[in-house]
């Protein structure tokens, strides 16, 4: 049987992971990409790219959408999350952000342009990258602590 302070600490850790996952998901939703004509969130571009475009872009967009949905599942149920799957999901989201950023920079001939369209990409992307790194670190620490605490706790007969 677990003590009350231990359960409280576990609840605090899960709440922190939940908040970081929510920050990661929402900041990814706020990243806007412009192809020169339309400025839309990357998530909308990914939904469109799954159904149209070349096969490699379909695969990348589909994996990014699946990764985004998995991080949402971490928000809903952090106890069920698997650290390696969280890392894989966040890696696909990073890959998608880097790909869209490369497309934006190549459209501007690799010059760093600072205007409202580009800032709507850079600022949420930076928040996403920081939040996702913190999510991965915190999730790894939680899983390591969970394994060590369950292995080190003595069994009590009541």
The tens digit of pLDDT for each residue in 37-57 reads: 888 999 999 999 999 888 988
- In 3-state terms, what secondary structure has residue 96? helix
**Per-residue model confidence (pLDDT) at position 23:** 92
Contact partners, residue 129, CB within 8 Å, separation at least 6:
94, 97
- pLDDT-derived band at 88, boundaries 50, 70, 90: very high
Question: Higher pLDDT residue, 153 or 19?
Answer: 19
Q: What are phi and psi of 26, to 5 degrees?
A: -70, -40
Q: What is the pLDDT of residue 116?
A: 87
Domain ranges of the chain: 4-151
Rg of the Cα atoms in the chain: 19
Over the stretch 61-76, which tens digit does the pLDDT of each residue have?
Answer: 999 999 999 999 988 8
DSSP characters over 56-87: HHHHHHHHHHHHHHHHHHHHH-GGG--HHHHH
> Average model confidence (pLDDT) for the chain?
84
> Is residue 158's pLDDT more than 50?
no
pTM: 0.80
């Amino acid at each position: 049987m677990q003590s009350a302070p231990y359960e409280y600490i576990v609840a605090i850790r899960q709440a922190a992971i939940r908040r970081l996952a929510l920050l990661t998901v929402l900041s990814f939703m706020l990243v806007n990409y412009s192809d020169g004509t339309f400025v839309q969130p990357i998530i909308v571009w990914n939904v469109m790219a799954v159904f149209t475009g070349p096969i490699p872009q379909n695969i990348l967009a589909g994996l990014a959408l699946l990764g985004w949905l998995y991080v949402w599942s971490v928000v809903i149920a952090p106890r069920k999350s698997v650290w390696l799957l969280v890392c894989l999901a966040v890696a696909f989201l990073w890959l998608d952000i880097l790909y869209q950023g490369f497309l934006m920079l190549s459209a501007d001939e690799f010059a760093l342009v600072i205007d409202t369209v580009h800032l709507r990409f850079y600022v949420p992307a930076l928040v996403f990258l920081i939040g996702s790194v913190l999510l991965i670190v915190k999730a790894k620490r939680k899983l390591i602590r969970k394994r060590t605490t369950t292995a080190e706790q003595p069994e009590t007969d009541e």
